[in-house]
Amino acid sequence: MGKLLQQLVNGITLGSIYALIALGYTMVYGIINLINFAHGDIFMLGAYIGFALTTFLNMSFIPALVISMLSCAIIGVVIEKVAYKPIRNSSRIAALITAISVSLFIEYVMMYFVSAETRTFPDVLAGKKINILNGRVILNSKDIYIIIITILLMIMLQYIIHNTKIGKAMRAVSLDSEAAQLMGINVDKTISYTFAIGSALAGAAGVLVGVYYNSIDPLMGMVPGLKAFIAAVIGGIGIIPGAMFGGIFLGLTETMVSAYGNSLYKDAVAFAILIIVLIIKPNGLFGTTAREKV
């Protein structure tokens, strides 16, 4: 029982990270039909920026987190303007290949400049052990921080989406961009905002992962990026609550497979879930079925 609760907490923590990254994927796909392969690399950049801020500028956790998020937001907007805008009227295959090229570019530029070795994140978030249930479950305060910060960010996101003008614009553009334009919405600006918010969330995830696992490397975005994408698909790509759900679901599943099954196969299980979802309900658990008009 204690072990189960422990694993549940681990799963939710991991799932929170996936959810934060998945939100960026899902928002971008919802608005411009692009699987932003480079999104996982923004997560990596967030970790490195957090690393640089805490190591070289001796910042504490919260300021580092905020600045990293802001930087990632800017980077996301720049990537969109430079790489994705030119191919906005191309097919999804072209967009995917372009996204892959951006991802490779970021990864290997980082590799070239900071080398492939892993760096250690300074311990800015003191990990305290908390005993609950008479010591049967040992929580690390880092878990609590991650879960709480994730919840806070998601609440903020929901507020932006549903209670601000830019959120309304984002929802409108993802439903019908031409109609949105006719209603006076600046589609370019809306897309930029979407990238900014999604990238900020990925950056936050990067800092949190750096803090939690203490090590970062230039290719750290690849696997979490793919897993977060799987999470977004599970929930229904383009659907924000779906990304949150998918992230937690995938985190829990992966943790359970690791704990009770064979941890070596956890990646394969994630991909297997992806394929099953794509085949049975491609629009995700929260999605509707679309149909091509003949």
Partner 1 sequence: MKWFNKKNIKMIILVLGTYAISEILIKANIIDSYIEMNLVIIGINIILAVSLNLITGFTGQFSLGHAGFMAIGAYVSAIATAKLGLPFIAAILLAAVSAAFVGLLIGIPTLRLKGDYLAIATLGFSEIIRNILLNIEYVGGASGFNDIPQYTTWTWIYFMVVITVTVIKNFVNSYAGRACIAIREDEIAAEAMGVNTTLYKVLSFIIGAFFAGIAGALYANYFYFIKPDAFGFMKSIDILVIVVFGGMGSIKGSIVGAFLLSLISLLLQSVPEIRMILYSLILFTIMVYRPQGILGDYESSVKLFKRGGKLNVGNQNK
Q: Are 214 and 50 in contact (CB under 8 A)?
A: no
Classify 293 in phi/psi space as left (phi over 0), alpha (psi -120 to 50) or beta: beta
Helix, strand or coil, per DSSP, at residue 135:
coil
Query: Which is closer to partner 1, CB of 9 or CB of 250?
Result: 250
Per CB under 8 A, which region of 59-67, 69-77, 118-126, 171-179 contacts partner 1?
171-179
159 binds partner 1 (CB under 8 A): no
Q: What 8-state DSSP symbol labels residue 266?
A: H
Beta bridge partners, 21, equal none
Count of positions on this chain that bind partner 1 (CB under 8 A)? 61
Burial 138-175 (b: 16+ CB within 10 A, else e): ebbebbebbbebbeebbeebeebbeeeebbbbbbbbbe
166 binds partner 1 (CB under 8 A): no
Q: Which helix or strand (DSSP H or E) is residue 140 part of? A: strand 137-140
Closest by CA to 175, choosing from 246, 238, 244, is: 238
Residue 185 CB, nearest approach to partner 1 (Å): 11
- Give the x-and-dash track for 113-152 against partner 1 (CB under 8 A): ----------------------------------------
Residue 249 CB, nearest approach to partner 1 (Å): 17
Per CB under 8 A, which region of 8-16, 33-41, 50-58, 159-167 contacts partner 1?
33-41
Query: Which is closer to partner 1, CB of 30 or CB of 50?
Result: 30
282 binds partner 1 (CB under 8 A): yes
Give the Cα separation of 125 and 141 in Å (integer): 9
Give the Cα separation of 285 and 162 in Å (integer): 22
Among 191, 196, 197, 201, binds partner 1 (CB under 8 A): 191
268 binds partner 1 (CB under 8 A): yes
Query: Which is closer to partner 1, CB of 35 or CB of 59?
Result: 35
183 binds partner 1 (CB under 8 A): no
Residue 74 CB, nearest approach to partner 1 (Å): 20
173 binds partner 1 (CB under 8 A): yes
42 binds partner 1 (CB under 8 A): no
Q: What 8-state DSSP symbol labels residue 84?
A: I
